[in-house]
Structure 1
Amino acid sequence: METRTGEQLQVNYKKVPSVQEMAKNKLVTIPSRYVREDQDRSNVASSNNKEVPVIDMQRLINDSMNLEFNKLHFAAKEWGFFQLINHGVNSSLVGKIKNEIKELFNLPLEEKKKFEQSSGELDGFGQHFVVSDEQKLDWADLFYLKTAPPYLRMPIFSKLPLSLRETIEEYSEEVKELSIKLLKMLGKALGIDEEEVKSLFEEGMQSMRMNYYPPCPQSEKVMGLTPHSDATGLTILLQVNEIQGLQIKKDGIWISILPLPRAFIVNVGDVFEIFSNGIYKSIEHRSVVSSEKERISIATFHNSRLDETIEEYSKEVNELSMKVLEMLGKALGIDEEEVKSVFEEGMQSMRMNYYPPCPQPEKVMGLCPHSDSSGLTILLQVNEIEGLQIKKDGIWISILPLPNAFVVNVGDALKIFSNGIYKSIEHRSVVNSERERMSVATFQNPRLHFAAKDWGFFQLINHGVSFSVVEKMKHETKKIFDLPLEEKKKFEQSSGDTEGFGQLFVVSGEQKLDWADLFYLKTSPTYLRKPIFSKLYLSLRETIEEYTKEIKELSMKVLKMLGKALGIDEEEVKSVFEEGMQSMRMNYYPPCPQPDKVMGLTPHSDATGLTILLQVNETQGLQIRKDGIWIPIEPLPNAFIVNVGDVFEIFSNGIYRSIEHRSVVSSEKERISVATFQSPRLDGILGPSSSLATVHNPPKFKKIGVTDYYKGFFTRELVGKSYVDTMRITNEDDLKN
């Protein structure tokens, strides 16, 4: 499922072997990862077609007495599943899609590899939700595609054989029309205006999952598809062959579904359960397999348009957050306007959490213990499975969510704002052995202006830089530090140069050194690149090109927003930074047996406009100095750490702060990071913005040529903020100069 319209869900599921290929070897005993002792097979009842409701679409359309209409309401409310006959989808088209899917799964393994999931993507052959090498696996091969709107399709779609692609186009279009008809009728049964249903679902995301369940010699020990509910509005399932395997859980009993000829099996998803305020049920279901025959099916998922759903939800949660924050401020005697000035136009972000069932829940953690860096967090529990725990007085306490309630917690930013009176509590998520848990956390953060003014540092999530590009950059950075020493020597700094392997700012033989290896490069404009850049091996060079291009675009967006917050004209920001110098420093901090005696990177501030830091591995070590105290930064997953540099402090006339920071090291683990620096154009003049330096607010910094500024910076020892301090105006003579 998607998190944002137009951008793929960023995932990093583990690759698993093809079960179809495994089954061809006529196994007697199956691999242990597929043995599912955690699944109860005893509590299964046989169903007949009268038990699972059957809805006739033609009667539903021409239902003057509302008999079929009432049956539909009953099916969605009491079962969440029904079989749909006389559905109106062209029978020859249904036959074509069945044949095409059989041919797809019958392709040779080498051909299928052309359509494998790429790293960080869902589309293609593979399995979803495989997050560890110990996790139990389903006895199935899946092929997943996003089909509509067309702009959501991944490149893999255009690579499909023409006949398959055309059939999917045609089939998915007809199933979409059917889905919308059903969604409107379900809405009508609830008294929801048709326009509201259309606005939410008509331009929604559609995706397909083609399922292949090979025969298994020990079918009673495996699971074709783990019990789950669908995170969709509506799911329409087409049974490709006659082998049954779908089971639904009703009143605690698993009921097998015997598909009717030429029928679809339709089920309500989590999204429609939420939309219906819990009146319609998104039912847990699973797939079991046969010992003798394969089973094939096609599930088509119709989702809401996520931009509108999220926009509407986030707007209401934002209003609620501000009310809570204002009341918390009032309790402390803080003026409402002051609270609003910090939080009202602050950044809001959302994290949607899916915790799959785990056969050994006591050995895993759904979400590691942490506190939130936000002002306020509002948690929506999507289903009834609990898992949130908070740490109070050294004890972990489980939170049982109340019906129709939010779970709210104070974040680090509000703790700081309240001067420590309010507590940002450590919390974690544990998982269930049998059932999935889903939740949505919405974070209300201080506005960007506050972050830059009071902290000079912030973490940036949902930044828009391609997940796959970030992962490639991490991989290549690890690779360059893993090169043999002889190979690294090819990329050593030349005498009098800063680029390559080495350390910067070492100006004497007596100077204390950092416990780190650095690799520094100027990346743009291209004429600034040194010969060392062209000597890099191709995959690293291409990755740096791709990564730095995206980071530059992001840097300019952030710089423009910071300028806007200060009332600086966008053109002035662009004139200073758009053609500016960009450079990278890759940092490797080895483990040290005496970490308390060394420094990974000496305390300093960055002589840049903006720095964007990518944490390559999970070992933390960055610390920033705030109010005289060193504060460790715990990087958020998939986030950049961004900080204001000396240049922007000067440009903002001291309103935004370039904060002193340092790196400490671990006694056991290496730490790797990549810092990208966006600096002003070298032929420019550095000084306070003309918008901010006035008669009433005199300039606090001298003007200096950018090239001269950097010459001075790189020829000094790195010591705190000492260099930017030399730019400060301290008397009238400085002001005249």
Structure 2
Amino acid sequence: MAEARTIGSISVPNVQELAGTCNGPDEQIPERYIRPEASSDEAIKNNHGDMSIPIIDLDKLISPQSSQEECVKLRSACQYWGFFQLINHGVQDEVIANLKRDIVDFFSQPLDTKKEYTQLPNSLEGYGQGFVFSEDQKLDWADMLYLQVHPSDSRDLRFWPTSPASFRQSIDAYSSETKSLALCLLEFMAKAVGAKPESLLGIFEEQPRGLRMTYYPPCRQSDKVMGLSPHSDVVGLTLLLQINDVQGLQIKKDGRWLSVDSPNGALIVNIGDTLEILSNGKFRSVEHRAVINPNKERISASLFHYPCENMVIRPLPEFVKDGKPRTTASQEKKIKENTRCRNLGIAMAGARSVGSLPVPNVQALAETCNGPDEHIPERYIRPEASSEEVINNYQGSMAIPIIDLNKLLSPQSSEEEVVKLRSACQYWGFFQLINHGVPDEVIANLKRDIVDFFSQPLDTKKEYTQLPNSLEGYGQSFVFSEDQKLEWADMLYLHVHPSDSRDLRFWPTSPASFRHLSLLNRRCLKVGNPLMHTHQRLKAWHLCLFEFMAKAVGAEPESLLGLFEEQPRGLRMAYYPPCRQADKVMGLSPHSDAGGLTLLLQINDMQGLQIKKDGKWLSIDAPNGALIANVGDTLEILSNGTFRSVEHRVMVNPNKERISAALFHYPCENMVISPLPEFVKNGKVKYRSISYLDFMKQIFTQQLDGKSRVETLKLDQ
């Protein structure tokens, strides 16, 4: 969820480095790390008997002969302790050994090497610390590396270390091995209280998982610092793996802290807040903390299992047999606040959770069926491509408006140009933008690299193929059935903003300049890095356009800026191969764009864009250097129909390929799309309200079909 991607920690000193400087006999620990409670609370060590953390044997849970007895022990552990040690868990020794080795090796590397994976300001993923939100907050004596490990297409590989060389493979293997383990535990937990296994499995199966690897440096004054502050986990279930032989975990039991010693090879499992609420308090999430050893570092790895992200967290009916929900308002508030930080997977939730069916590569197909005796496959035949009248070489009142950004910005000409802008948005929904301020060199570099990308062998491009449940990457979009008509085009679609939503698996490394190599620092942007730099330049101009659009109708600029500033943006680069029978195929089906605003850059000199005006198709010729801007469905609804999203399509040339790049600007994801009060001055609301996520779900689960989405939201006037 994008909201999770806007949460992060304030940058703080590296504790491993700090420990190296303040562990001498005369050195002082910085005040922000001094924690009086570290030594003031009594801790019970070497506990046994009734004060010993329960041990659950997975083999006994699974065995028909011992399952019932072990289930009773599991229920007791979850109900009275919230923690237990899991033995005979089935995770291969080799998988655990490899992960332990690589985690130790990672934290043993020089600081500069580890800093290559530093958290971005608005993300919890990467190397650093978590949950630091103020400059005077007390700090934990630890460094961490946090990664989203599942679903696989949520992994941001910028933060997955390549050193040690086997680290990524070790993490992936551990994530895969423990996947079924957690589900098995949830199944037996449900059975232990007489509930159906599906009651929990349906909430956690195939849902997000995150891995936090934590390094707690030694501290000679260990009684003055805290490795990890007292807390309970917000998740459903946590699996803790002790990486080395130094203990430090303590849990709170009956008001006292108990030290937990993990036997070699065991996993420590604990209940999270979410599971406590779902179980109506039958299972308990328990406060725990990590303390520091004075002589040696401690290292651990926690695997967090999150629930289905669009659910409302409340007691499940299967756990409320007495009719008394036990969830408190404070618990629900805690979950609501903490859940924002739980899924670091995506910026556009709709686009990341659905995808297209795989179809043949059109560029390769064009080479095989462009001969005089070759036939185009039936799925690409589109009779409407030649049946509707098209107006070419139009001028005067039938010419697409031209908006000059310099004139919009100039006090002398702004008023007149704003009138033209309103007219363009109201009656056309499209306009050409000139003098937009993006340097010619930047545009030329981007054009060159997009052309070079599509010119590469198919096998090279296929390295960036879309995954089954994603629209990102190389392929096609909006293909949802095996008999659906197909478009004569291939595309590369990327999330470009926010920066921490970028899935670099799909960002080509060839040509070498295609993506920026220093993604972690925006100040490193250079003109020679076209994709990143063009996106940054256009970012400023699209906000400028929103501002003047609002002014054009007498609304406050903030009415639109607040909805689109720093919100998701996606870039679709499309390649339309030539087709000798161009009158039989369609490059892009008639549709209107879903977002707020689209900026289109024509990559080569081959035109093909057509818009629908007064029931006729008009061909659009983009002047060299101009951008084509068009209003999207969201902006039409927000403006209460003052601005129009217009149906458009792309036609194919018989002799030469067409290439374009469209930058889509989406609104705030958690908003409800409805006409803004500033645009409803006569009191007549023209569109029904709809949540943005529901709106996007409709878009990404249906083939393109004109303006049908918006039409269904119109109210009868």
Q: How does 1:60-99 map to 2 (within 5 A)?
A: 60-62=61-63, 64-65=65-66, 66-99=68-101
Instruction: Give the corresponding residue for 1:267.
Output: 270
> Given the superposition, is the C-alpha separation of residues 644 and 84 from structure 1 closer, same or farther in structure 2, using an over 3 Å criterion?
closer
- Cα deviation for residue 505 of structure 1 reads 5.1
User: Which of 113, 125, 128 in structure 2 is aligned with 1:126?
Assistant: 128
Q: Is structure 2 residue 12 aligned with structure 1 residue 16? A: yes
1:156 alignment counterpart: 158
Query: CA 1:437 to 1:289, structure 2 compared with 1: closer, same or farther past 3 Å?
Result: farther
Tell me if structure 2 keeps the 8 A contact 1:35–1:221.
yes
Deviation per CA, 1:653-710, whole angstroms, max 9, x where unpaired? Answer: 96449xxxxxxxxxxxxxxxxxxxxxxxxxxxxxxx999999x97xxxxxxxxxxxxx
The counterpart of 1:234, out of the listed 237, 251, 267, is 237
- Cα offset for 1:221? 1.1
Tell me, yes or no, if the aligned pair for 1:498 and 1:504 is still in contact at 8 Å: yes
Residue 557 to residue 578, structure 1, CA distance change in 2 (3 Å): farther
1:76-124 Cα shifts (integer Å, max 9, x gaps): 1110111112222111221111100001111111111211112312211
Does residue 194 of structure 1 match 2:185?
no
Higher relative contact order (CA 8 A, sep 6+): 2
Instruction: Give, in whole Å, the separation in 2 of the partners of 1:693 and 1:104.
Output: 57
DSSP-derived class of the 2:70 partner: helix
The alignment's C-alpha RMSD in Å is 5.0
Residues 467-525 of structure 1: CA deviation (Å, up to 9, x unaligned): xxxxxxxxxxxxxxxxxxxxxxxxxxx99952446587569xxxxxxxxxxxxxxxx97
- Secondary structure, counterpart of 1:84 in structure 2: strand
Q: Is 1:169 paired with 2:206?
A: no
Q: CA offset at residue 64 of structure 1?
A: 2.1
Contact preservation (8 Å) 2:404, 2:436: no
Aligned partners of 2:677 and 2:159: how far apart in 1? 47
| Letter aligned with residue 439 of structure 2 | S
Bigger share in strand: 1
Identity of aligned residues (%): 34
In 1, the alpha carbon distance for the partners of 2:712 and 2:88 equals 69
Does structure 2 conserve the Cα–Cα contact (< 8 Å) formed by 1:653 and 1:693? no
- Structure 1 residues 232-290: Cα deviation after superposition (integer angstroms, max 9, x where no partner): 11111111111110000011101111111221111111121112111110100000001
The separation in 2 between residues aligned to 1:94 and 1:200, in whole angstroms, is: 27
* Partner residue in 2 for 1:142: 144
Amino acid corresponding to residue 334 of structure 2 in structure 1: M
Structure-1 residue corresponding to 2:33: 34
Kept in 2, the 8 Å contact 1:205–1:303? The answer is: yes
**Which of the residues 515, 534, 546 maps onto 2:439?**
534
Distance 2:121 2:350 in 1: 15
Give, in whole Å, the separation in 2 of the partners of 1:578 and 1:313. Answer: 55
Q: Which amino acid aligns with 2:643?
A: G
Q: Distance in 2 between matches of 1:690 and 1:436?
A: 38
Aligned to 2:594: 557
User: What is the TM-score when the length of structure 2 is the normalising length?
Assistant: 0.51
TM-score, normalised by the number of residues in structure 1:
0.50
Residues 281 and 327 in structure 2, CA contact (< 8 A), matched pair in contact too: no
* Structure 1 range deviating more: 497-506 or 55-64: 497-506
Contact conserved, 1:208 with 1:298, CA < 8 A, in 2?
A: yes
1:438 aligns to 2:334 (yes or no): yes
Residues 278-357 of structure 1: pairs in structure 2 closer than 5 A: 278-307=281-310, 309-310=311-312
Q: Give the match for residue 491 of structure 1.
A: none
Residue 232 of structure 1 aligns to which amino acid in structure 2? V
CA contact 2:32–2:138 (8 Å) conserved in 1: yes
Q: Deviations over 1:536-567 (max 9, x none)?
A: 9958753242574956999953789xxxxxxx
* Alpha-carbon shift at residue 178 of structure 1 (Å): 1.3
Work out whether 1:609 is the aligned partner of 2:505: no
| 1:423 counterpart residue number | none
Looking at structure 1, the residues matched to 71 and 105 of structure 2 have their Cα atoms a distance apart, in angstroms, of: 38
**Structure 1 SS opposite 2:270:** strand
Match of 1:451 in 2: none
Aligned amino acid, residue 227 of structure 2:
G
Change (3 A) 1:23 1:643: same
One-letter amino acid matched to 1:30 = I
Tell me which amino acid in the other structure corresponds to 2:535.
E
Distance 1:249 1:242 in 2: 22
**Runs of 4+ with >6 A deviation:** 312-316, 462-466, 551-555, 570-580, 636-643, 645-650, 689-694
The code of the aligned residue for 1:59 comes to K
Which among 216, 220, 242 is matched to residue 217 of structure 1?
A: 220
What are the residue-to-residue correspondences of 1:553-702 with 2, within 5 Å? 556-557=593-594, 581=629, 609=643, 655-656=685-686
Q: 1:693 to 1:200 in 2, by over 3 A?
A: closer
Q: For 1:30 and 1:693, how far apart are their aligned partners in 2?
A: 64
Q: Counterpart amino acid of 1:83?
A: Q
Partner of 2:605: none
For the Cα contact (< 8 Å) 2:117–2:159, is it kept in 1? Answer: no
How much does 1:61 deviate?
1.9
Aligned to 1:73, the other structure's residue is in SS state helix
Question: Secondary structure, in 3 states, of the residue corresponding to 1:156?
Answer: helix
* DSSP 3-state at the match of 1:184: helix
